[in-house]
Structure 1
Amino acid sequence: MSLGPSLAQMRRDNRVTVVLPVKISPHDEPTKVRAACTCEVSGRGAKLMKIDGVSEGDILWIARHTRRAKFKVVWIGKSGSEQDGQIGVESLEPEKFIWDDDLRGKLA
């Protein structure tokens, strides 16, 4: 008996597990920059680790080297869970590819 597609099957985009250092800042305070790291990226979003002080719905600038784009926080890992300290972000500018060029083919 099937319960329907799994979360992984429902995802629209390929995802790559990769740790990339990035810089994040609130969209309304772009000079308030802090360091963060990805743990997974896709063409439309990412999972970031060890981020605190953000809420679902927040808009962030995320920069990788000289590229940056706006992202929306779409989920926050629950305290004590496996996702504790992680956040999921979705690009508000999907036409901007901020990840490393060698990832472009893997995410197509």
Structure 2
Amino acid sequence: MNVNDLSFSVYPVGLFDDLRRLVIMVRAGRWGTARYRVKRIARSLRLAIKYRELGYFNGFLAEPINYDPRSLRWTRVGHGWTWRRALADLHRHLEEMNP
């Protein structure tokens, strides 16, 4: 299977997902939920720094979708601070695993 023929799913995780949800709540005028999101972000940042949980700062994850598991080998998702970087990381990994 050619890696270029695959479809990919890219989505925010950790801090980027919390910020995305905060923006959605502010735009919708849901101030109570927005305040909750701000508190959640502050708490998550404190815990991530305290326990050195770098996974909270992943940014974006990318993974293949709609593929045949028998024809594609992959062991991890792509990650990066930007949508494009996550895709590039996954593409590089897939090229290494499926020459």
TM-score after normalising by structure 2 = 0.25
- Structure 1 or 2, whichever has the larger Rg, is 2
Larger RCO: Structure 1 or Structure 2 (Cα < 8 Å, ≥ 6 residues apart)?
2
Structure number with higher strand proportion: 1
TM-score after normalising by structure 1 = 0.23
